[in-house]
Structure 1
Amino acid sequence: MAGFNPVDMVEEDAADLQFPKEFENAETLLISEVHMLLEHRKNQNESSEEEQEFSEVFHKTYTYTNEFRKFRNKETIASVRSLLMQKKLHKFELAALGNLCPASPEEAKALIPSLE
């Protein structure tokens, strides 16, 4: 296969914090933050003179984030992110902890193996 270089292939494994290079500069969001962004977009649309129809994906994502968000207001979301950022966590670990909200360190390590 022309142009194929096995050295370029990195084994992807979130447990070892190995992600594709496309994710190097990507930021992670909590589900609550995604919901807040979608809510803002929805409110903007409703207050605009020419209301646009949202896609099915938008509606499904909005419903999902509404169901699974852990935090309901901007201040709480900011506090959670700020507290987690004080720890030396990979951005994936930060988002996973903020989304899963494990009840104990043992549960956190079981759900997010890279925390070991």
Structure 2
Amino acid sequence: MKNWLFLGTAILAEVIATSALKASDGFSRLLPSVIVVAGYGVAFYFLSLTLKAIPVGIAYAVWSGVGIVLVSLIAWLVFGQRLDTPALIGIGLIVAGVLVLNLFSKSSAH
């Protein structure tokens, strides 16, 4: 369970860093730029801890899938990004893929 908490922490830090990347305006604003660097540092540190117990393919699939969904949600709520029907379908397929991988695959670390 601890390894999944590490992965959750890594995902959260990456989502914060990616969201701050938009706000950094090409690294021309100091505070968002610092958040980007720190966030990615924390994210990769916790991902490295995760990989001690969870296979890299599984961890990265969950990392990227959950990250895409959360960043898209933040982009919609904070930055006013519009998500059309194909985008929503694609995000839904990503969520379905992560669920199938974790619920039904013998490759997943349960």
Normalising by structure 1, what TM-score? 0.29
Judging by fraction of residues, say which structure has more helix.
2
Larger radius of gyration: 1
Q: Report which structure shows greater RCO (CA 8 Å, sep ≥6).
A: 1
Provide the TM-score with structure 2 as the length reference: 0.31
